[in-house]
Structure 1
């Protein structure tokens, strides 16, 4: 790949050429879900975006350590209740049952959307020791104070020692941040509204609690990401990502904690995805302007005219740049379905094309090579998937013209066509993470047909041997699996 990779760094508010700390290696941390309720489409949009980044970095030859956490403690509601404890109360389960239930659901959803698993997926509750150690370091460096078993980060002390650094990511002044800081009911004893808890005293009835030098309590939500990112990626690493809604206070506080404990701000490049709208408005349960991933796939919602396959949904997501808002509507999904079908049809046509140009390229061969290079160059421009797809659809037009004879295959060398097929397939399936669901279903159906034929042959042999018990046993077992066997003059047949 000939062009340099550039990223929009939220910290500097500029596009920068990406230069990893260690040549050939990338450390990337992405804030994962708080697993107290089902994953929503906004989550899916964020993690599909970072999945594409992960895939593209690997396609460029980097060895990537991708860390994405699971938050299962410390994320508080406005009334000061831990979200996991609240989930456990509402579900009438133990907190770790809630965490496992919704972690499984989250993983299932991302598998359906063909997102690769991260290299490491640490849980906050599995890193309590590291978080306590980080609190100790922050206190020792003069950036935190303890009050009645809770420990708070001292933003004023941090700013005094670091040239008013707090607010550098969100771009807001400290007075604005003071006005926007949430005042949680359980944190009324901190010195300033801008200070935030890094360790909280466990009140009576609080389920999740651990021993610490400050008494029984639990870590703050912001602390876990600082502790786990530095544990697995070091005090300085390459990329930190998450949704735009995490920029303040979560990511702002992470930087402060990292500097407070390690004298480094953690990541060098901060990447943020934008929000998901529906029908031009913010999703909201209160006014009914919402849809779950399951409803989107099944079509069981008044907002869609039919169910859309996970790959159509992924393709739809790729049509917006990760830093842009994405507006979900039935009309947009219908257009995405048509576009995705057209793309796969062209891909399948391409597989049947054979070069006739010998060793020499004409104009068409050069256009294919240059068009594919242009698509990859768009990915180098801050992972610009919509513009990369636009380049791909220019190539789709040429593929259809080659198939229809409007363009001549005599102008494409065998070497160029083979390289084009390989490069386009790598972009569509390895980088963008799409897959041909029809082809996948066909392969599965073929495998099922072969397996059923083996079973029917065994049953036929049992009948020939007058082993009626085995014959009936096979038929009954298939019936229990939802497969009906019918015996006829031409032999047995099956249906689901």
Structure 2
């Protein structure tokens, strides 16, 4: 196992050496999607980033229990425990059962994750499947004196909790500032404090998704679900908790408070957050009109896109930025990633055509060590990719006959590609070169070779140029002619 893995911990705002609680086992919890609408690219960036982390931990030899939940209840329209539950509202509008909404969007989410080659988690629990655990956790928090019930709704008492705990430990914000920026309590508001949030919500008569509880019929608050499910499957304290940075200020802050109030310990030792997406420098959002779904990105069917891009091109694009950095979408950046991805895959296709020599002009050991150094530095995928393109340069140099690799370094290069391109970065070859298409290309290459042998260079050049216009590049070498899509 390669050691010295360093992770940036949002909780401490520093990079820390990663030491699992019970090595070689690692508990990883990531807040999953809310399945009342199509998954958006911000979600995709988060899940691709944690797929990278999951893959690398597995590569290092850890036994990882990766839990990624499905939020299918308790997600209200407002951020003050107000409004309709989005699942119930959508179900009423479409005149279907709420779980039909859940099923439809869960399947859609899984399909998008498969296109991005995201590994499935070890466990994918749902909020609706863990109502009993959430009720028990609410009861314990109440018994410990950190929650109160009003008319069938149970609230977490933030101000009481803050007297003995640092409520804003994750964001380092001042409690006074939070209070100042929170709306005044109206005459009908039943909360004791402005920052108090709902653990259990009384269901209105028309509410579809409801369950019996000690406080009457209702449904769980959004935050309690993750606390209940993470503790059930990973223990009261586990290794890594992650999600998008937009979750830190409210959702994850409240998760910490709930877990401390219930179990008297921090739920996670390392908090990891991915950064936001922007489009041409502006924050991506539906209201700004610059947000698009993965399907629109794949097809190019969006006013801001000049063409479509394959899922692997988009995954490669996402991994070219560090997970804690802002990722800016633009046609130019996506075009560059498309070319880079294809250059990487074209070089990999040449690997099996390389012939080992008696001596080597390149030492692959140094590149491999730098790849580990990059990933051990808070999963620095951009630096890893830069090192892999050094391997690409070596492959092309050896294939062109301008350098050599002995058997040991050639084997090491193949292992490097397998380990870091396919296993860690999770990239796959998308070009399906069918037997029929391959035979057609072999026939065209032979026609061009016949033209060259007959000194009909005009025809030879015409074939090469027309193939290039179709996105197919020919490459001549002393071993013969190969082709690749560009």
TM interval, shorter chain, is: 0.7 to 0.9
Could you report, residue by residue, the CA deviation over 1:155-187 in whole angstroms, capped at 9, with x for unpaired residues? 12212223xx10000111111222445789999
Could you report, residue by residue, the CA deviation over 1:315-361 in whole angstroms, capped at 9, with x for unpaired residues? 0001110000100011111000000111111111122112112xxx6
Could you report, residue by residue, the CA deviation over 1:428-465 in whole angstroms, capped at 9, with x for unpaired residues? 01110100111xx2369799x9xxxxxxxxxxxxxxxx
The answer to whether the Cα contact below 8 Å between 1:349 and 1:403 also exists between their aligned partners in 2 is yes
Is 2:362 the counterpart of 1:365? Answer: yes
Q: Secondary structure, in 3 states, of the residue corresponding to 1:311?
A: helix
Deviation at 1:402, TM superposition (A): 1.3
Q: Secondary structure, in 3 states, of the residue corresponding to 1:290?
A: coil
Q: Which residue of 1 aligns with 2:433?
A: 442
**Unaligned 5+ residue runs, structure 1?**
450-496
Q: 1:60 to 1:146 in 2, by over 3 A?
A: same
Could you report, residue by residue, the CA deviation over 1:241-296 in whole angstroms, capped at 9, with x for unpaired residues? 00000001100000000011111111100000000111111123334222211111
Could you report, residue by residue, the CA deviation over 1:472-491 in whole angstroms, capped at 9, with x for unpaired residues? xxxxxxxxxxxxxxxxxxxx
User: Which of 114, 118, 121 matches 2:121?
Assistant: 118
Q: Distance in 2 between matches of 1:341 and 1:75?
A: 41
The answer to whether the Cα contact below 8 Å between 2:36 and 2:105 also exists between their aligned partners in 1 is yes
Q: 1:24 to 1:92 in 2, by over 3 A?
A: same
Q: Secondary structure, in 3 states, of the residue corresponding to 1:108?
A: helix
Q: Which residue of 2 aligns with 1:418?
A: 411
Q: Which residue of 1 aligns with 2:14?
A: 14
Query: 1:18-33 residue pairs with structure 2 within 5 A?
Result: 18-33=18-33
Deviation at 1:2, TM superposition (A): 4.4
The answer to whether the Cα contact below 8 Å between 2:185 and 2:194 also exists between their aligned partners in 1 is no
Q: 1:173 to 1:335 in 2, by over 3 A?
A: same
TM-score normalised to the size of structure 2?
A: 0.86
Task: Give the aligned CA root-mean-square deviation in angstroms.
Answer: 2.0
User: Which of 429, 435, 448 matches 2:422?
Assistant: 429
Q: 1:149 to 1:2 in 2, by over 3 A?
A: closer
Q: Secondary structure, in 3 states, of the residue corresponding to 1:161?
A: coil
Deviation at 1:131, TM superposition (A): 0.3
Q: Distance in 2 between matches of 1:436 and 1:260?
A: 49
> Which stretch has the larger CA shift, 424-433 or 59-68?
424-433
Could you report, residue by residue, the CA deviation over 1:360-401 in whole angstroms, capped at 9, with x for unpaired residues? x64x332x2211220121011111111110111122112211
Q: Which residue of 2 aligns with 1:468?
A: none
**Unaligned 5+ residue runs, structure 2?**
441-486
Is 2:189 the counterpart of 1:188? Answer: yes
Is 2:292 the counterpart of 1:291? Answer: yes
The answer to whether the Cα contact below 8 Å between 1:343 and 1:396 also exists between their aligned partners in 2 is yes
Q: 1:183 to 1:325 in 2, by over 3 A?
A: farther
Q: 1:378 to 1:94 in 2, by over 3 A?
A: same
Q: Which residue of 2 aligns with 1:142?
A: 145
Q: Which residue of 1 aligns with 2:108?
A: 105
The answer to whether the Cα contact below 8 Å between 2:237 and 2:267 also exists between their aligned partners in 1 is yes
Is 2:284 the counterpart of 1:280? Answer: no
> Which stretch has the larger CA shift, 112-121 or 180-189?
180-189
Deviation at 1:40, TM superposition (A): 0.6
Q: Secondary structure, in 3 states, of the residue corresponding to 2:163?
A: helix
TM-score normalised to the size of structure 1?
A: 0.85
Q: Secondary structure, in 3 states, of the residue corresponding to 2:242?
A: strand
User: Which of 374, 389, 399 matches 2:395?
Assistant: 399
Q: Distance in 2 between matches of 1:57 and 1:345?
A: 28
Q: Distance in 2 between matches of 1:183 and 1:89?
A: 32
Q: 1:43 to 1:9 in 2, by over 3 A?
A: same
Q: Secondary structure, in 3 states, of the residue corresponding to 1:288?
A: coil
The answer to whether the Cα contact below 8 Å between 1:48 and 1:314 also exists between their aligned partners in 2 is yes
Q: Secondary structure, in 3 states, of the residue corresponding to 1:115?
A: coil
Is 2:392 the counterpart of 1:389? Answer: no
Q: Distance in 2 between matches of 1:91 and 1:119?
A: 33
The answer to whether the Cα contact below 8 Å between 2:29 and 2:68 also exists between their aligned partners in 1 is yes
Deviation at 1:60, TM superposition (A): 0.4
Q: 1:183 to 1:123 in 2, by over 3 A?
A: farther
Q: Distance in 1 between matches of 2:188 and 2:437?
A: 61
The answer to whether the Cα contact below 8 Å between 1:225 and 1:254 also exists between their aligned partners in 2 is yes
Q: Which residue of 2 aligns with 1:200?
A: 201
Q: Which residue of 2 aligns with 1:68?
A: 68
